[in-house]
Structure 1
Amino acid sequence: MPHRPGPAAAAGRDGRDRHRPAGGPQKELIERAYRTAEALGLQLWCQDEAGPYQAIPQPGPSWQPEGSPRRRPHEYVRGGTAKLLTLFRPATGEVRAEPVEHATNAVLHPWLKRELTAILAACSPPPATPPAGRRWADWDAFAATWGLDDRRPPLRVPLIWDTLAGHLSIELGRWLLDHGILPLYTPLAGSWLNLAESVQRILVRRALDGHHPETIQQLMGWLAETVRGWNADPTPFEWAGKRAARRRRARDRRHALGGSAGYSRRPICRRRHATAPSPNGVTHAY
Structure 2
Amino acid sequence: MPSPKLDLVVLSDEERSVLTGWARRRKTAQALALRARIVLRCAEGGSIGVVAADVGVSRNTASKWRSRFVSERLEGLSDEPRPGRPRVISDDRIERVITKTLEETPGQDTHWSTRSMASATGMSQSAISRIWRAFGLKPHAVETWKLSTDPQFIDKVRDVVGLYLAPPENALVLAVDEKSQMQAIDRTAPILPIMPTTPARMTHDYVRHGTTSLFAAFDIGSGSVIAHHYRRHRHQEFLRFLKLIDAAVPKDLALHLVLDNYATHKTPKVKEWLIRHPRFHLHFTPTSSSWLNLVERWFAELTNRKLRRSAHRSVTELETDVRRWINEWNADPKPFVWTKTADQILDTLAAYCTRINDSRH
**TM-score, with structure 2 as normaliser:** 0.49
- In structure 2, what is the Cα distance between the partners aligned to 1:118 and 1:211? 29
Contact 2:157 2:342 in 1 (8 A): no
Aligned to 2:236: 106
Aligned to 1:83: 213
Shift in Å, 1:214: 2.1
Within a 5 Å distance, the mapping from 1:71-150 to structure 2 comes to 72=202, 76-121=206-251, 123-124=252-253
Q: Deviations over 1:15-71 (max 9, x none)?
A: xxxx94212212111111112224x2221111000132222258xx98522366655
- In structure 2, what is the Cα distance between the partners aligned to 1:35 and 1:218? 38
Find the partner of 2:161 among 31, 50, 55. Answer: 31
* Cα pair distance change 1:120/1:70, threshold 3 Å: same
- In structure 2, what is the Cα distance between the partners aligned to 1:87 and 1:74? 33
- In structure 2, what is the Cα distance between the partners aligned to 1:186 and 1:177? 21
* Cα pair distance change 1:173/1:183, threshold 3 Å: same
- In structure 1, what is the Cα distance between the partners aligned to 2:270 and 2:256? 15
- In structure 2, what is the Cα distance between the partners aligned to 1:183 and 1:27? 14
Aligned to 2:257: 159
Unaligned runs of 5+ in 1: 1-18, 125-155, 250-286
Aligned to 1:227: 326
* Cα pair distance change 1:45/1:74, threshold 3 Å: closer
Within a 5 Å distance, the mapping from 1:169-208 to structure 2 comes to 169-179=267-277, 180-208=279-307
* Cα pair distance change 1:46/1:177, threshold 3 Å: farther
Contact 2:175 2:295 in 1 (8 A): yes
Higher strand share: 1
Does 2:182 match 1:53? Answer: yes
- In structure 2, what is the Cα distance between the partners aligned to 1:200 and 1:52? 13
* Cα pair distance change 1:74/1:26, threshold 3 Å: closer
- In structure 2, what is the Cα distance between the partners aligned to 1:159 and 1:82? 23
* Cα pair distance change 1:168/1:246, threshold 3 Å: closer
Amino acid at match of 2:177: D
Contact 1:94 1:234 in 2 (8 A): yes
Shift in Å, 1:177: 3.6
Aligned to 1:143: none
What is the aligned length? 196
Find the partner of 2:311 among 173, 187, 212. Answer: 212
Percent identical among aligned pairs is: 25
- In structure 2, what is the Cα distance between the partners aligned to 1:107 and 1:234? 26
Shift in Å, 1:103: 1.7
* Cα pair distance change 1:215/1:246, threshold 3 Å: closer
Q: Deviations over 1:119-147 (max 9, x none)?
A: 143x45xxxxxxxxxxxxxxxxxxxxxxx
Does 2:172 match 1:43? Answer: yes
Unaligned runs of 5+ in 2: 1-147, 349-361
- In structure 2, what is the Cα distance between the partners aligned to 1:62 and 1:76? 15
Instruction: State the Cα RMSD in Å.
Output: 2.9
- In structure 2, what is the Cα distance between the partners aligned to 1:57 and 1:77? 5
- In structure 1, what is the Cα distance between the partners aligned to 2:284 and 2:258? 6
Contact 2:179 2:214 in 1 (8 A): yes
Greater gyration radius = 2
Shift in Å, 1:100: 2.6
Aligned partner of residue 187 in structure 1, secondary structure: coil
Contact 2:238 2:265 in 1 (8 A): no
- In structure 1, what is the Cα distance between the partners aligned to 2:211 and 2:196? 32
Q: Deviations over 1:197-238 (max 9, x none)?
A: 111111232222222222211111111111101000001222
- In structure 2, what is the Cα distance between the partners aligned to 1:62 and 1:209? 15
